[in-house]
């Protein structure tokens, strides 16, 4: 089976704990082929974001204009105006948008009103419970419950809850990892129920091998490159 091809459009976190570098690490750990372009540059650490600089939408589009259409697209932090342009450029690709409104340290990434204007365009939108309270839940929303308390995490898509046990630890980059793995599994099968279930399973395995941040490299060192 040919490796799924996933286009990643997200921001650069120099620490590698989230964003573009994390997306690449997760998808390649699963055996996917990654195409990509950086949507913004940040200077940040676990405590704060010092700066955020978005690239112009036309520059990002110029990067990807001549690429073959990927099976799926994972979009992270970006200027929301990019989303409809990507949809037009790749009409048959499955688009997953991780709507990161703010960082764990509280820095604002995207404005809710701008996100809402284009929220119906992606096939699927992943958001945590805090973001769901701001943006609301829609037919394409997948709400991850990692920010809630308790030993059980619920991932909700429409009228179905996917239940998993919480892995002990304080991890950074779980939202990026979840949406990237989801884009990979959707590129593989196109079935959203199967993709969510596999994403939950594989992310749980990765977290068991990780410390403080999602670390696919540690999981690879134990299990080898995954072919699912």
Q: Round to whole Å and give the CA distance between 18 and 219.
A: 17
- pLDDT of 51: 77
pLDDT at 199: 94
User: Is residue 215 a contact partner of residue 206, using CB atoms and an 8 Å limit?
Assistant: yes
Q: Which residues pair with 5 in a beta bridge?
A: 33
- pLDDT at residue number 193: 96
Alpha-carbon distance of 190 to 194, in angstroms, equals 8
Determine the Cα–Cα distance for residues 168 and 207; give it in Å rounded to an integer: 9
Cα–Cα distance measured from residue 189 to residue 163, given in angstroms and rounded to the nearest whole number: 21
| Domains of the chain from N-terminus onward | 5-220 (3.40.1190.20)
Q: Note the pLDDT of residue 209.
A: 72
- Do residues 22 and 98 touch, judged by C-beta distance below 8 A? no
- Separation between Cα atoms, residue 93 and residue 73, nearest integer Å: 7
Model pLDDT, residue 38 = 97
Residue 221 has a pLDDT of 44
One pLDDT digit (tens) per residue for the chain, 228 residues: 468 999 999 999 887 778 899 899 899 989 999 999 999 998 866 666 677 899 999 999 999 999 999 999 999 999 999 999 999 999 999 999 999 887 665 567 889 999 999 999 999 999 999 999 999 999 999 999 755 666 788 899 999 999 887 776 666 678 888 999 999 999 999 999 999 999 999 888 877 776 555 666 555 443 444 544
Counting every residue, how long is the chain? 228
Q: What are 33's strand-pairing partners?
A: 5
- Residue whose structure tokens are 């509280």: 106
Q: What is the pLDDT of residue 43?
A: 80
At 203 the pLDDT is 84
CB 125 within 8 A of CB 116: no
């Amino acid at each position: 089976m040919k490796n799924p091809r996933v286009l990643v459009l997200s921001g650069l976190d120099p620490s590698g704990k989230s964003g573009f570098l994390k997306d690449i690490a997760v998808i390649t750990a699963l055996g996917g082929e990654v195409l990509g372009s950086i949507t913004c540059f940040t200077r940040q650490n676990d405590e704060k974001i010092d700066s955020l600089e978005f690239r112009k939408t036309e520059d990002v589009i110029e990067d990807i204009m001549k690429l073959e259409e990927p099976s799926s697209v994972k979009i992270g932090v970006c200027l929301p105006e990019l989303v409809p342009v990507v949809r037009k450029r790749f009409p048959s690709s499955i688009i997953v948008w991780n709507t990161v409104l703010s960082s764990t340290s509280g820095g604002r990434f995207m404005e809710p009103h701008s996100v809402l204007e284009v929220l119906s365009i992606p096939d699927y939108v992943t958001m945590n419970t805090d973001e769901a309270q701001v943006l609301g839940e829609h037919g394409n929303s997948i709400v991850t419950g990692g920010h809630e308390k308790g030993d059980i995490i619920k991932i909700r898509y429409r009228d179905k809850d996917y239940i998993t046990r919480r892995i002990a630890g304080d991890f950074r980059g779980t939202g990026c990892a979840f949406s990237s793995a989801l884009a990979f599994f959707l590129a593989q099968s196109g079935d959203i129920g199967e993709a969510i279930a596999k994403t939950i399973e594989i992310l749980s395995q990765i977290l068991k091998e990780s410390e403080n941040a999602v670390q696919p490299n540690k999981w690879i060192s134990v299990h080898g490159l995954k072919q699912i």
